[in-house]
């Protein structure tokens, strides 16, 4: 049920899909979501539409900059989040030659009942799936 927004410079539809595939695989590998739990919005931008600081925090970014914002159920540990960031950059570098310096990730943690999966219901308020039950036990 995470909602993923990926923003990158204009590229081919195939490359954009490969970026999305790598981001999703990293999430499955590290944060415990089911493989079929995939909701992504990919936005491609002209250079003037994607604004970022090329050197903030001593990191040298290029025009290959990719911003990934993931809204997900809160409660994952710093270790799990760090594993997600690492795995995402590993996959993007290995498959698409994306520089790790160009991968910016922002996680937005929300309560499970902040999601409606459809039908006008708050499904996770009614019953948490197993991967979210584990988060409730650890907090």
- Does residue 2 have an active-site annotation? yes
Cα distances from 111 to residues 32, 105, 134, in angstroms, run: 16, 20, 14
Which residue has 């790598």 as its token pair? 22
Local structure of 72: helix, strand or coil: strand
Whole-number Å distance between alpha carbons of 12 and 50: 17
2, 100, 112, 130: the catalytic one is 2
Show which residues are catalytic. Answer: 2
């Amino acid at each position: 049920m995470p909602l993923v927004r990926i923003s990158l410079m204009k590229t081919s539809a195939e490359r954009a899909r490969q970026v999305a595939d790598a981001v999703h695989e990293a999430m499955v590998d590290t944060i415990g979501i089911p493989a079929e739990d995939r909701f992504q919005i990919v936005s491609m931008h002209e250079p003037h539409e994607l604004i970022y600081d090329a050197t903030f925090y001593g990191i040298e970014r290029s025009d290959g900059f990719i911003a990934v914002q993931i809204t997900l159920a809160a409660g994952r540990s710093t270790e799990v989040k760090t594993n997600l960031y690492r795995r995402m950059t590993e996959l993007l570098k290995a498959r698409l030659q994306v520089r790790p310096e160009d991968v910016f990730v922002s996680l937005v943690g929300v309560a499970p009942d902040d999601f409606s999966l459809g039908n006008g219901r708050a499904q996770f308020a009614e019953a948490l799936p197993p991967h979210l039950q584990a988060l409730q036990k650890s907090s």
